[in-house]
Amino acid sequence: MNALAATNRNFKLAARLLGLDSKLEKSLLIPFREIKVECTIPKDDGSLASFVGFRIQHDNARGPMKGGIRYHPEVDPDEVNALAQLMTWKTAVANIPYGGAKGGIGCNPGDLSISELERLTRVFTQKIHDLIGIHIDVPAPDMGTGPQTMAWILDEYSKFHGHSPAVVTGKPIDLGGSLGRDAATGRGVLFAAEALLNEHGKTVSGQRFAIQGFGNVGSWAAQLIHEQGGKVVAVSDITGAIKNSKGIDVPSLLKHVKEHKGVTGFHGADAIDPQSVLVEDCDILIPAALGGVINRDNANDIKAKFIVEAANHPTDPEADEILSKKGVVILPDIYANSGGVTVSYFEWVQNIQGFMWEEEKVNNVLKTYMTKGFKDVKEMCKTHNCDLRMGAFTLGVNRVARATVLRGWEA
């Protein structure tokens, strides 16, 4: 099942549990606006190249829309639609005043020079500048984009609207980015795991973790779990996978990854088949890479008691059923990986106030939000007698539905 089908299915189940009327249900699913623009730039050799840029703005009942911009050769409209919708529910679960959006440009950033990427970003911004904005839609980095991309968008947007640091988040610190933003999603995963384990009378210390994906989120989660006394026993990335049942020395691994661009060849652990990380013997499994990695083919072999979804949509609905029968507790993505968008919200708040926070404050307030978020999800689980995924979806959908009705928007 693709991401859009799975997200729609979860939404419909949540709508049924909440007893939403069918008209309201339908209007909550339809995106607010879909934007598609042609971006033509001169390449370094003087030839012209055209790319398609787009932005899906899903819902703005609770506040400005928020979501990443990705540069990727295969930008699937269905997936982008699903991710925009997911952002609507995720921001509502986190209880931050945003709705969902997602966008990008169909290009291979590896094939373009820095100056070509800059021209492309600026042309894209020129085409959509009157459709985004501090109180309309606030983009952020995603696959193939980063702080530098945000800096170009900020600069180009500011030419039309005056200096507006709050128009994007995930900016470089020197242009109003927030301290703690880089580690935010991984730190949120740690706080989410802590909340879940506390519920079961456990702490992170002494638990064994397997982490699939060692990019920004996976590596920060591993580092912070290690600092809390958790044992990281297996890790994988695009280069390969490693395990050490006594626990991997995470600081040494981070150094190795920095030097060798991947976990492969790390001496403090044994190489294993990358596919087997998901079924390694551990207490908590953290998928932090791609969607759809836990499916009916491997769900039966998973040994973890808890799964904390750091990636978007890593578990197929079929696998969900198999795992719940086995008694595996899954902490869903729309709660577990919301640390990133929560700290993006803090960045936006700091920019609007023109007053920046210390990193310690960012981390403390993030912990408050994640802890409260878990309590809110558990309340919905009790009310509707459902699992954590449905608890999170009913919480998010209910908040958006209430805002929609209060604004008088329901059909």
Tokens coding 308: 């904390």
3-state secondary structure of 125: helix
For residue 129, what are the CA distances in angstroms to 121, 123, 238?
11, 10, 36
d(CA 276, CA 352): 46
d(CA 115, CA 110): 12
Q: Is 102 a catalytic residue?
A: yes
Q: What are phi and psi of 137, to 5 degrees?
A: -160, 125
Contacts of residue 385, defined as CB under 8 A and 6 or more positions apart, other chains included, come to none
**Which residues in 368-382 are b (16+ Cβ under 10 Å) and which e?**
ebbeebbebbbebbe
Closest CA to 344 of 162, 91, 83: 91
Number of neighbours of residue 171 by Cβ within 10 angstroms: 26
Residue 185 known to bind ligand: yes
Residue 379 parent element (H or E): helix 359-384
Number of neighbours of residue 12 by Cβ within 10 angstroms: 15
- Class of residue 75 by CB neighbours under 10 A (exposed 0-12, middle 13-18, buried 19+): buried
Number of neighbours of residue 203 by Cβ within 10 angstroms: 13
Q: What are phi and psi of 254, to 5 degrees?
A: -60, -40
Tokens coding 93: 């679960």
Residue 344 known to bind ligand: yes
d(CA 176, CA 395): 32
Closest CA to 103 of 136, 140, 129, 153: 140
Alpha helices in 94-233 (DSSP H): 114-128, 147-161, 184-199, 216-227
Catalytic pick from 102, 171, 231, 243? 102
Contact criterion met (CB below 8 Å) for 217 and 337: yes
Residue 216 known to bind ligand: yes
Q: Characterise 178 by phi-psi region: left (phi > 0), alpha (psi -120 to 50), beta (else).
A: beta
Tokens coding 246: 């006594």
Beta-bridge partner residues of 57:
33, 101
Query: Mind telling me the catalytic residues?
Result: 102
| Residues flagged as binding site for substrate | 66, 90, 344
| Residues flagged as binding site | 66, 90, 185, 216, 344
| Residues flagged as binding site for NAD(+) | 185, 216
